[in-house]
Amino acid sequence: MRHRTARTDNRDNSCRGKAGTIIQFTLLLAGCIFALLCITSVGLAGGTQDPLQPFANHLSFSGYKCAAQGSVLQASHRSKPAFTLSPYGSGVIIKAWFQKKQNTPEVRQSLLIIANTMNDKATLARFYVDGEGDLIMEAWYPLPYVKENFAAFLDAWETDFVVTMKEYYPELAKYIN
């Protein structure tokens, strides 16, 4: 004699099994996405590393002496202009200051005229006269730091300095130190 076993509804069990599998898969996927976002954000933000450190390393390798003062990196070179590099928006801004000799309206006006003509020659940098009357050369570089891109940026910065100073230094020498 055969015993009959109770028949279970396979459809009911399979639905619960599929639902459980879908929930497990969804949780696993959510965990993977969260982990990926954490890894990506740490990579873009540089983790706890100073965001200016890759720039300092690059500049040091290029012959600059670098010193950090808070969130500002000061860079100097024996044959190139000294400048600062600091966070600005979603990038960093590089600035070189050229102090005026005298604080007169005539000196300011002359520097403004020269800055405007220097901007016509520059490819990357912009020149302007700040509130104190000093001539400023500045450029902005977007984050993240990429070695090849920053090398091209730095080359264009230095070329702008050489090209503009070569042409305008005789006139600038009358007004800046």
Q: Which of 11-20, 34-43, 68-77 has the highest mean pLDDT?
A: 68-77
Tell me: pLDDT of 91 over 90. yes
What pLDDT, on the 0 to 100 scale, is given for residue 146? 97
Please state, for a pLDDT cut of 90, what percent of the chain lies above it.
69
Q: What is the pLDDT of residue 70?
A: 92
Q: Where are the domains of the chain?
A: 7-48, 53-172
CB 103 within 8 A of CB 139: no
Residue 31, pLDDT above cutoff 90: no
Cα–Cα dist 69/86, whole Å: 10
Q: How far is CA 20 from CA 14, 34, 59, in A?
A: 10, 21, 56
**CATH assignment, 53-172:** 3.30.1460.10
- In the predicted model, is pLDDT for residue 121 greater than 50? yes
Residues 60-64, mean pLDDT to the nearest whole number: 96
